[in-house]
Chains A and B, each alone.
Chain A
Amino acid sequence: MERDPIVLAERALGGHQGAGARLIRMLEEGDEGATEGLRAVLPSAGRAHLLGVTGPPGAGKSTLVDRMAAEYRRRGSRVGIIAVDPSSPFTGGAVLGDRVRMHDHAADPGVFIRSMATRGQLGGLARATFEATTVLDAMGYDVVLIETVGVGQDEVDVADLAHTTVVVSIPGMGDDVQAIKAGILEIADLFVVNKADLPGADRVAKHIGAALHMRAAPIDAWQPPILMTEAERAGGIVDVIDGIDAHRAHLRSSGGLDRKVIRRRERVFHDVLRERAAARALACAPRQGAEILSAMRSGELDPYTAVEALLGVEA
């Protein structure tokens, strides 16, 4: 039961899947030493194309991700997949079932699938999704697909993480607007209308096109294509991968990639800062901290004053 982050990092970089998995596990658990392991793999990261796939429940995201992975494998790429499912808010447990749809890659060592539970995180991702993508990137997976929860919330966080964000919708969701809410519209680099054999698919595509016309011109002048797929029969998948490649080429030539990388770094920085600063503020003066917390709970201090009081405590 190896838990030395440096050893794990070295072995992960050497291609040992179990070591990579354990490192992700420790990062997810917030293990204090795990950051050291992450630091050790960081120099090897930055080569993978990070690909977010988001959309409402029932849109067929898992099947689409499965078929995309198959197409990448056909093209000779090694594929990492992170599939996020919700944790139960009551028990903290989760059933992570996305592997079922990825059955065909289950015995292919060129595909690394990691299921993650949200563990209370909002925004469609799990707690350590950023870290997990970094580990898979460093391990040499050429493309890392991130499938968001798909519970229909505003799952826009994935755009902070991915280089290319694919937004999936399907016909028959009832309310066309629901399927492509404003926030989702803005993060999309590629639209996929899945289950295109169902009636109404053309209408959904048209609706997205019209909505795109109305949005402010994107900063890097990329016009998101709207692609039709029938993921169940692998229909249209080649076009999706070609579209992603085109977006990737565009990012490189337009300088958009740098902007995405900076955005990702900033996001990680702020997330980690928020988490660690809070932990440290609470830990540096345990006794006063507890007093302030209890005064806040009883209403003696309002939450704002309580924070100021805590930050004012001298270590």
Chain B
Amino acid sequence: MTDDSRKRPAPDGTEPADAEATWRRDVLGPALADRGERQDEFVTQQMHWPLKDLYTSRDLDEIGFDPGKDLGFPGEFPYTRGTNPAGYRQDLWTMLQVTGFGTATDSAERWSKMLDQGLNGFIIEYDLPTTNGYDSDHPLAEGEVARAGTAIDTLADMEQALDLPWDKLQHLSSVCNAPQPVNLAMILAALEKRDIDPASFTLQMSNAILIEYTCVGRYIYPPKHGLRIATDCIEYTIRNHANWIPISVVSAQLYAARATPVQELAFGFSIAMEYLDATLARGFEIDEVAPYWSFITGLEMDFFEAIAKLRAYRKIWARLMKERYGAKREESLRLRLMSSPGTTGLTLQQPLNNIARLGIQTLACALGGGAYAITTPLHDEAHALPSEEAVRVGIAVQNIVAHETGVADTIDPLAGSYLLETMTRRMEDEVFAEIEKVDAMGGALAAIEAGYFQKELARSQRARFSEIEDGTRKQIGVNHLVQADEKRSIETFKLGETAERQQLARLARVRADRDDAVVAKTLDRVREAASGDENLVPPILDAVKAYATQGEICDVMREVFGVYHPDSLTSGV
């Protein structure tokens, strides 16, 4: 077999049609003759798509892959190769870290330290009473105050939390969905008090209430009122703070609820379009608002699925905006996507293994291209609240990928990969099919009210757990290479017990010092606005400035909108 045609490229540069058959017969066959492959079948980790042993140019022919149409150039439609024309050769991604603990004073100290360590922005996470619209002295808040994030009851807390080295800060994210208008008002009022120019940095609000109904559970009002409140925030921000980002579709939450990539994209885009339609109904043109939409996603351990997912995100968004909404501006078509290694891939067992996982996922984020910001969770996050050591390692992991691996030094190095392009296309097709299914139900709000997303996610959750239980999906330290007598002695962040007491004292002080008559008057205005269709942000801003508490403001809206309690039909249980 010296004159083997498979070694000779055909005149047009492609391999001759029978080369693969020859290889299978003469090379692969004999190699597998004694022992077959190590598994009966190979499938992707999340979609369970069958994987062939080898992908070739023929796979691309089969799907009619067209580099011009499917890839384009970096910074061009459909943005598969990234939204930034220069990739990471001009700027690396923004390095962020999710954090926020204790009282506002504790948090400000920690954040300042992180900015000094080389981050240029961070995400403020609030404690559960704050994200659920309760004050720290509410009976349900007991034991939760300042535990999972920062406690903000009144403007006084926000003023304290934003005591930061503002010259180093470029980007601030605030995750507070159900009470988002209150949170926005608190930030605005605090900036005014501190004399900070709101245009000097980017505030990104999650404002992602529809996701909360779908899987996270930190909702307050029934879904349609949740949507109205979110739309009020979006409208107010676009009209008054044009450089801020008033909406993030936190599809990372879907991912964390074990959505498959197809579910994550389809549900996430359907939800994004629900906000978009509600905003357009306020009298905007698509190109005025679409550029504000942003997504936050998380990645799984299946490396190629993860990269395909990031590429499909950009491509599908560009197509939806162009084909469905007739958007024309590049900024409308170009998806803003923040991605992070996902916490669900992390394990409680053998927690140091998580550092390896974070490294691999961060690499996938970078290779998936065009993520304008990457956050790293912390390797001990699966265990308890993160320690300072974990914060340092998290920042280091991002810098290692950025500076030591070379993946950021040429633009979109993986384009054209037989496997990856095949996978990206399949993802695109399946996502569109699922979006159409949601359309047929009447869109995301209707699908949420009917419990569709919730039930679909519950199904994925069960499947995922049983795979790990029966070992069909290997997780090191959990069902493979298990350490029998593992001691879990990882250092975790312990919250000072005084935080809750201090917060309660501060709240009591604010309540005592303010003018209750003014508070009552501003709250009446909020009630009036909520009952009609006036934008809620301005009256809430007045209430915040009068030092009305977050719980008081949310209670007024509870009276008007009602409180949401989904049953098993709509909760997925």
Sort chain A's interface into a size bin: 10 to 19
Shortest CB-to-CB span from B508 to chain A, Å, is: 25
Q: How far is the CA of A62 from the CA of B567 in the complex (A)?
A: 8
User: In the complex, which of the residues B561, B562, B564, B567 contacts A97, with contact meaning CB atoms closer than 8 Å?
Assistant: B567
Residue of B561, B564, B565, B567 with most partner-chain A CB within 10 A: B567
Bitwise, A222-238 to B at CB < 8 A (1) or not (0) is 00000000001110000
**Any chain B CB within 8 A of the CB of A272?**
no
CB proximity to A under 8 Å, residues B538-573: 561-562, 564-569, 571, 573
The answer to whether B565 and A103 touch across the interface, beta carbons within 8 angstroms, is yes
The answer to whether B450 and A58 touch across the interface, beta carbons within 8 angstroms, is yes
**Any chain A CB within 8 A of the CB of B198?**
no
The answer to whether B565 and A101 touch across the interface, beta carbons within 8 angstroms, is yes
Q: How far is the CA of A57 from the CA of B568 in the complex (A)?
A: 12
Contacts of B573 in A (CB 8 A): 95, 97
Shortest CB-to-CB span from B565 to chain A, Å, is: 5
**Any chain A CB within 8 A of the CB of B291?**
no
How many residues of B are in contact with the other chain, CB < 8 A? 12
Q: How far is the CA of A55 from the CA of B573 in the complex (A)?
A: 21
**Any chain B CB within 8 A of the CB of A137?**
no
Shortest CB-to-CB span from A158 to chain B, Å, is: 19
**Any chain A CB within 8 A of the CB of B222?**
yes
User: In the complex, which of the residues B222, B561, B566 contacts A100, with contact meaning CB atoms closer than 8 Å?
Assistant: B566
The answer to whether B568 and A85 touch across the interface, beta carbons within 8 angstroms, is yes
Q: How far is the CA of A103 from the CA of B561 in the complex (A)?
A: 17
Given A58-B450, A232-B222; A97-B568 close (CB under 8 Å):
yes
The answer to whether B450 and A100 touch across the interface, beta carbons within 8 angstroms, is no
Contacts of A66 in B (CB 8 A): 565
Contacts of A63 in B (CB 8 A): 565, 567
Shortest CB-to-CB span from B346 to chain A, Å, is: 29
Tell me the nearest residue of chain B to A99, going by C-beta.
B567
Q: How far is the CA of A66 from the CA of B564 in the complex (A)?
A: 12
Contacts of B566 in A (CB 8 A): 100-101
Tell me the nearest residue of chain A to B561, going by C-beta.
A233
The answer to whether B562 and A101 touch across the interface, beta carbons within 8 angstroms, is no
Q: How far is the CA of A85 from the CA of B566 in the complex (A)?
A: 15
Contacts of A28 in B (CB 8 A): none
Shortest CB-to-CB span from B222 to chain A, Å, is: 5
**Any chain B CB within 8 A of the CB of A160?**
no
Contacts of A234 in B (CB 8 A): 562
**Any chain B CB within 8 A of the CB of A98?**
yes
CB proximity to A under 8 Å, residues B213-231: 222
Contacts of B450 in A (CB 8 A): 58
Q: How far is the CA of A95 from the CA of B573 in the complex (A)?
A: 7
Bitwise, B222-256 to A at CB < 8 A (1) or not (0) is 10000000000000000000000000000000000
Tell me the nearest residue of chain A to B562, going by C-beta.
A233
Bitwise, A89-109 to B at CB < 8 A (1) or not (0) is 000000111101101000000
Q: How far is the CA of A103 from the CA of B558 in the complex (A)?
A: 15
The answer to whether B567 and A232 touch across the interface, beta carbons within 8 angstroms, is no
Bitwise, A77-95 to B at CB < 8 A (1) or not (0) is 0000000010000000001
The answer to whether B562 and A98 touch across the interface, beta carbons within 8 angstroms, is no
Given A58-B450, A232-B222; A97-B565 close (CB under 8 Å):
no
Q: How far is the CA of A274 from the CA of B567 in the complex (A)?
A: 35
Q: How far is the CA of A147 from the CA of B143 in the complex (A)?
A: 36
Contacts of B565 in A (CB 8 A): 63, 66, 100-101, 103
The answer to whether A100 and B568 touch across the interface, beta carbons within 8 angstroms, is yes
Q: How far is the CA of A9 from the CA of B47 in the complex (A)?
A: 56
Q: How far is the CA of A282 from the CA of B568 in the complex (A)?
A: 39
Shortest CB-to-CB span from A162 to chain B, Å, is: 21
Q: How far is the CA of A234 from the CA of B562 in the complex (A)?
A: 8
Contacts of A98 in B (CB 8 A): 567-568
Q: How far is the CA of A233 from the CA of B567 in the complex (A)?
A: 16
Shortest CB-to-CB span from A134 to chain B, Å, is: 26
The answer to whether B562 and A58 touch across the interface, beta carbons within 8 angstroms, is no
Shortest CB-to-CB span from B259 to chain A, Å, is: 21
Contacts of B562 in A (CB 8 A): 232-234
Q: How far is the CA of A98 from the CA of B573 in the complex (A)?
A: 11
Q: How far is the CA of A63 from the CA of B222 in the complex (A)?
A: 12
The answer to whether B569 and A57 touch across the interface, beta carbons within 8 angstroms, is yes
The answer to whether B571 and A97 touch across the interface, beta carbons within 8 angstroms, is yes
Shortest CB-to-CB span from A117 to chain B, Å, is: 12
Contacts of A233 in B (CB 8 A): 561-562
Q: How far is the CA of A96 from the CA of B567 in the complex (A)?
A: 9
Q: How far is the CA of A139 from the CA of B323 in the complex (A)?
A: 64
Q: How far is the CA of A100 from the CA of B562 in the complex (A)?
A: 15
Tell me the nearest residue of chain B to A102, going by C-beta.
B565
Q: How far is the CA of A108 from the CA of B222 in the complex (A)?
A: 23
Contacts of A95 in B (CB 8 A): 568, 573
The answer to whether A97 and B569 touch across the interface, beta carbons within 8 angstroms, is yes
Q: How far is the CA of A85 from the CA of B569 in the complex (A)?
A: 11
Q: How far is the CA of A100 from the CA of B568 in the complex (A)?
A: 8
20 interchain pairs, CB-CB under 8 A? A57-B569, A58-B569, A63-B565, A63-B567, A95-B568, A97-B567, A97-B569, A98-B567, A100-B565, A100-B566, A100-B567, A100-B568, A100-B571, A101-B565, A101-B566, A101-B567, A103-B565, A232-B564, A233-B561, A234-B562
Q: What are the 5 tightest A-B residue pairs by CB atom distance, in nearest-first order?
A: A97-B568, A233-B562, A101-B567, A103-B565, A97-B567
* Additional 7 contacts, C-beta under 8 A, given A57-B569, A63-B567, A100-B571: A58-B450, A63-B565, A95-B573, A101-B567, A103-B565, A233-B561, A234-B562
